[in-house]
Chains A and B, each alone.
Chain A
Amino acid sequence: MSQLTGRLSENIVHFARALRAAGVPVGPGAVMDALTAVECAGVGTRQDFYWTLHAVFVKRHEHSLLFDQAFRIFFRRRSSIDKLLEAMLPQAPAREEEKPPPGAQRIQEALMSSAGEAEQKPPELEVDARLTVSDREVLQKRDFAQMSAAEIAAAKEAIKRLVLSLDEVKTRRLAPHRHGHIIDVRRTLRASLKAGGAVIDLKYLGPRSKAPPIVALLDISGSMSQYTRLFLHFLHAVTDARKRVHTFLFGTRLTNVTRSLKAKDPDEALAAVAASVADWSGGTRIATSLHAFNKLWARRVLTQGAVVLLITDGLERDPDDRLAFEIDRLHRSCRRLIWLNPLLRFAGFEAKAKGIRTMVPHVDELRPVHNLESMGELVKALSASGPRAGDPKAWLEKVA
C-alpha cells in the first residue's frame, strides 16, 4: 500500500468540505479517517473508492443520497468545486406575501349556525369575571388569533416561562430507592462490610421513572395559520425543556423539523423551520400526512411510551375511510394521543364537520388550545399522570 499522493488527499479534504456544505455533518476526525481508510483499501475501482468514502463520511441513512450526488458531481469534474457548492447549497424558498387565510371560509362552515354570537367570547369568562383585570390576565385569555404584535411578543415571553415539570413514567431500569421493593445486594453488601460484616442493613431498589418522549404533529394549513407561529414557539420551549421531543409539520405533506427546533434561540429555530417547509398555509391533507407519518416515522419515534400531540382543527379537505384507518393506527401505536384543537375555543363548538367526527373516537383527549391559559393547562396535563380532563366522547354526545 503506497503512501497517498498529495493530490488525492487534497481532493478528499476538498470533498469533505463540499459534503459539509451540502449538509452532511463531517468533522475533522472523519477526514483523517477517510485518509486512513483510502490508504487501507487502496485506490482500486471507482466503486470501491465510493464505498470506502461512504463508510467513513455517512453516518445516517438519509445522508446517503446527498453523498451520492456530491460524489458524482465532485469526482467527475474535480476542479469545479465552486459549481458543486453552488448546486448543493440549500436554497431558501422565496417568501410569498401574506395572503388571506384560505381556510377562514371552512371554519365558518364547520361551526354552522352557533358561531355567530359565541365567537368572541372565551369559554370561562363568567367564572373568572370576579378577578381584577390586570394586563397579564387579559393576555391569558386573549385568543392567539386576535393578538396584536405587542401582545404576541408578550405571549412569546410567557410561553418561554411555561415550566414543563417531568411527567413520570416507570421504566424497566432500577435505581436506589428508599421505599423500593427489591433488595440492592450490591449496596447492602458494601454497607455491611463497613461494619465488618456484623450488621446487615438492607438497601433497596425501585423502578426509575422518566419523562416519556413527546411527538407533536402540527397542522400548518391555511385555516390554522394564525396559530402555527405561537405553537411553534410552544414546541420550541418544550423541545428545550425535554430531551426527547419530535416535531412534524403537515399541510399537504409531512416535514420533520425536529433538528431545526433544536436551535437554542427561538427566532433562529423558527427561521430554520420556515426554510425547511414548502407547504405553509395551503390546504390540509390529514389522512395523507398521517399515512406518511405512520409508514415512515411511527416505528422510529413512537417507542418507549410516547405521547402524541396532534395539533389541528380537523378540517380535512376530503375526509374518507382512510382518515379513520390512519388515525386509528396512530392511536394504537402510541401511549396517549392528545388532540389539541383551537376550534374548541368557541363555546358553541359542535363536532359536526365530517373529518372531526371521524377523528374524535380515536383520540384519548380532546383539548382546546387557543390562548395562554389553555396552553398552561396543557402543560399541566402533560406533567401529570393523574386523572385526565378532555374526554373526547363528551364532544360527540353534544351533537347526538
Chain B
Amino acid sequence: MSKTPTPRALPASIDATLDLLAAADYLADRSLATVLFLALRMGRPLFLEGEAGVGKTEIAKVLSATLGRRLIRLQCYEGLDVAAAVYEWNYGAQMIAIRVAEAEGAHDRERLEHDVFSERFLIKRPLLQALEPDPAGAPVLLIDELDRADEAFEAFLLEVLADFQVTVPELGTVQAKAPPIVVITSNRTREIHDALKRRCLYHWVGYPTAERELKIVRAKVPGIGKALSEQVVRFVQALRKEDLFKAPGVAETLDWASALAELDAVALDPATASDTLGVLLKYQDDIARIEGSKAKELIDEVRAQMRAAE
C-alpha cells in the first residue's frame, strides 16, 4: 500500500462513468456503467454475478486505479472466519507484554487487561481496514467470490454492509466515517441469500457483444493484427453458441489472442486453433468436441462471415 494515487471525484453522470472506465481500458457496456454510477452515487454495495472471466474483479481494480483510492481485497474461501476477515490479536506481542508486566511486579489485573487489549496489539484484516479513514477518500473494498465462503460468513457480512461498522468486543465498535466503495463478486456456484442481495445493487455481467469484445481485444493486446483479432473474436463468439460445459470468457479470449500473437500468427488456421484450444477451453470433454473437424467448420464459418462483411 506504499503508492499513494491521486484522488479523484466520483463521476457525475453515466457518461462520465463510461469515460472513467474507458480511461483504464475497461470497455463496459452502458448497463454496467449505469449500475456502477448508481452504486457510487447512492453509496450502496455493487453485487456482480456472472460466469468466470467476464471482468467482474477487474471493475474493482479499475475503480481503485482511476479514482485513486486504495484497493482492499478480501478473497473468500470456505472456512473464512472473523479472525481472517476482520481482526486478530497479536498473541506473541501480548504474551511478551504480560511477561514483562509480571517481571515488573505489576499485578493489577484490570490495568493489564486494558493494556493488552489495546489497538497496539490489534492486527487489522481487510474488513476492518476498509472502515478506517483514508486521506485519499474511502477505499474500494473488493469481496471476491463470495459464493466460496459459507452462509455463516454471509450473515456476518450482512451486518457489516448494513451499517459499515464492526464490533471488537475488547475495544468497542468501529464505524466508518465515509463508507467504502464495496464491490462483491460471485461466480454463482451457489445462490447468495436474498437478504444480502437486497442491500446491494445487483448486476449480471454477461459476455460482451462481438463489437465490444473486438474493441477489448484491440485495447488489451496491442500487438495483434487487424484481421487476426477479428477472426479470434468471431471464433470465440461462435464457440459460445456451441453446447459446451464451460464457454470461454473474455479473459480466455484475451489469453488466446495473446498466445496467437506470440506465435506470430497472421490469420487463424485449423491446425493452430486446435493446438492452442487449451487456452480457450478448460474441460477435456469440451476440447475433444471442438478439436479437429469442428474447429475447421467454425473457422470456415468465420471466414465466410468476414467475406460477407467486406
The interface of chain A, by Cβ under 8 A from chain B, is: 25, 27, 29-30, 33, 36-37, 40-42, 44, 47-48, 51-52, 54-56, 58-61, 64, 171-174, 185-186, 189, 192-194, 196-198, 210, 243, 294-295, 299-301, 303-304, 329
- In this assembly, does B3 line the interface, its C-beta being within 8 Å of a C-beta of chain A? no
The interface of chain B, by Cβ under 8 A from chain A, is: 13-14, 30-31, 34-35, 37-39, 41-42, 44, 49, 77-79, 81, 83, 88-89, 91, 94-95, 98-99, 101-102, 107, 109, 112-113, 116, 147, 150-152, 188-191, 194, 197-198, 201-204, 243, 245, 285
A residues less than 8 Å from B83 (CB atoms): 186
A175 to chain B, nearest CB (A): 10
Contact between A301 and B38, CB atoms less than 8 A apart: no
A residues less than 8 Å from B91 (CB atoms): 185-186, 189
Contacts A58-B202, A193-B116, A197-B98 known; 4 new A-B pairs at CB < 8 A: A41-B14, A58-B204, A185-B91, A295-B243
Contact of A193 among B35, B113, B245 (CB under 8 A): B113
Contact between A48 and B34, CB atoms less than 8 A apart: yes
Q: A36-B42, A171-B78, A193-B113 are in contact. Are A301 and B190 (CB under 8 A)?
A: yes
Contact between A52 and B38, CB atoms less than 8 A apart: yes
A residues less than 8 Å from B49 (CB atoms): 61
B47 to chain A, nearest CB (A): 8
Count chain B CB atoms within 10 A of each CB in A192, A210, A303 and give the residue with the most. Answer: A303
A364 to chain B, nearest CB (A): 22
DSSP majority for the A interface?
helix
In the bound assembly, the distance between CA atoms of A294 and B77 in angstroms comes to 23
A residues less than 8 Å from B198 (CB atoms): 27, 29-30, 59
Count chain A CB atoms within 10 A of each CB in B13, B37, B38, B101 and give the residue with the most. Answer: B38
Contact between B14 and A186, CB atoms less than 8 A apart: no
Q: A60-B197, A186-B83 are in contact. Are A193 and B109 (CB under 8 A)?
A: yes
Contact between B41 and A40, CB atoms less than 8 A apart: yes
B residues less than 8 Å from A55 (CB atoms): 34-35, 38-39, 201-203
Contact between B35 and A196, CB atoms less than 8 A apart: no
Which residue from chain A places its CB closest to the CB of B37 in the assembled complex?
Answer: A41
Contact of A197 among B35, B42, B112 (CB under 8 A): B112
In the bound assembly, the distance between CA atoms of A25 and B88 in angstroms comes to 39
B residues less than 8 Å from A198 (CB atoms): 102
Contact between A174 and B79, CB atoms less than 8 A apart: yes
A residues less than 8 Å from B285 (CB atoms): 329
A residues less than 8 Å from B191 (CB atoms): 300
Contact between B203 and A300, CB atoms less than 8 A apart: no
A22 to chain B, nearest CB (A): 17
9 interchain pairs, CB-CB under 8 A: A30-B198, A37-B38, A41-B38, A47-B30, A61-B49, A173-B150, A186-B91, A196-B107, A198-B102
Contact between B190 and A300, CB atoms less than 8 A apart: yes
Contact of B109 among A30, A59, A61, A196 (CB under 8 A): A196
Contact of B35 among A29, A51, A172 (CB under 8 A): A51
